[in-house]
Amino acid sequence: MTDVTVSHPRREGIGNVEQYLIVGAMFLFSIVSFGRFSSEQGSVLLALASIVSYFLAIYLYYGVARLALTHRNNLLWISGVLAVVAGYLLGGSSELWPLLTGWGMILFGGALSGRLIASGRKSGNVYLIAMIVVALFAVLQLAPFWSFLMDRIREVTTGLLQEGQKSMIASGEGAKAVKGLVADTQRMINVLVRLVPSMTVLAAVMQFSLGYLLFAYRLDPAVHPAGTLASFTRWKVPFWVMPALMVVILGRMFGPDNVKLAADNCIAFFCVFYCACGLSLIEYYLSKYHFSKLMKVLFYIMLVFTQLIGFFAAALLGFVDSFADWRKIHRLSIVKE
């Protein structure tokens, strides 16, 4: 039997300053996210805390992944637990569920990203695994509030539509035209209300995605070649997602109302990723045929003005390309050269 010597890649370093910044961000996140602000402190401070919390979460997805990648496990989990305790002391038992699920997203999503990259997994697969974990925690955190949000949006928009209808009629608009416009607006609002679950989960997934992109961007290709991000023009939704989407569509067509509601939100969730990969396909062909930067900018501006039509067109391109594979992605290395 021949002896085989396995050479392990060098451990990617992380400086003391960066470690302290990540740990400090953990405690600051608990303070601004779960600390109680009195009404006397004003809505401006509350809004500022929300903004800081949003960007801190993005940084922590990056930071936790970095700690996990470099095997700072004791520092990661001890600091994480202490930050959770700090959040509990500040927010009390009323904030316990959002606290646990919010930190669950960051700690498990970030740690999975770092450990799987360290084990040599491909960046795309790591993102999907960690993203699913983050999405599940987001569902656990947000599901108790969906009914309240949906009812509140209905109440507010109904009042606004009634006031708008009165104003338009008073200004001389025809009653029939106003009624048609209000009906169209109401249908659009009803769709948005149905999609509240997917929109709230996507907001959490967006934070993770930005943190993951920052983490993957900073990886050393010589140490973690499989973890290096491929060019945007080579992004593609894996083909195995399609059977799951087909099951969801069947549920939407033949299921009861609650299944149809869940299916609508799953389809909206899938559409966002298909849209991103559809834009990747568009960018690939714009670059292939040497469109200038000005022409690209003008094209994307026009695409924005098409609104939902452009969104669904890009999503359809991404969906078809997931099995048509026009760019022959399966024949290319997904690792950055």
User: What pLDDT, in 10s, does the model give residues 8-55?
Assistant: 334 456 778 999 999 999 999 999 998 776 555 567 777 888 899 999
Distance CA 166, CA 174 (A): 11
Domains of the chain, by residue range, sit at: 13-223, 230-337
Distance CA 139, CA 128 (A): 16
Amino acid at 69: L
Please tell me the least confidently modeled range out of 6-10, 59-63, 99-103, 262-266. 6-10
How confident is the model over 204-238, as pLDDT tens digits?
999 999 999 999 998 888 888 888 888 888 888 88
CA distances, 105 to each of 23, 99, 135, 157 (Å)? 17, 10, 8, 32
Instruction: Quote the percentage of the chain above a pLDDT of 70.
Output: 92
Please tell me the least confidently modeled range out of 11-25, 31-45, 111-125, 252-266. 31-45
Specify the residue for token string 């608009």. Answer: 173
Please tell me the least confidently modeled range out of 39-43, 71-75, 173-177, 314-318. 39-43
Largest CA distance in the chain: 93
Question: How high does pLDDT run on average in the chain?
Answer: 87
Specify the residue for token string 């989407």. Answer: 245
Which has the closest alpha carbon to 69: 129, 116, 108, 126?
A: 116
CA angle 247, 253, 257 (to 5 degrees): 105
Cβ atoms within 10 Å of 144's Cβ, excluding its own: 10
Which pLDDT belongs to residue 6?
33
Mean pLDDT of 307-331: 86
The helix/strand/coil state of 180 is helix
Q: pLDDT tier at 332 (50, 70, 90 boundaries)?
A: very low
How confident is the model over 177-199, as pLDDT tens digits?
778 888 888 888 888 899 999 99
Using a cut of 0.95, tell me whether the model's pTM lies above it: no
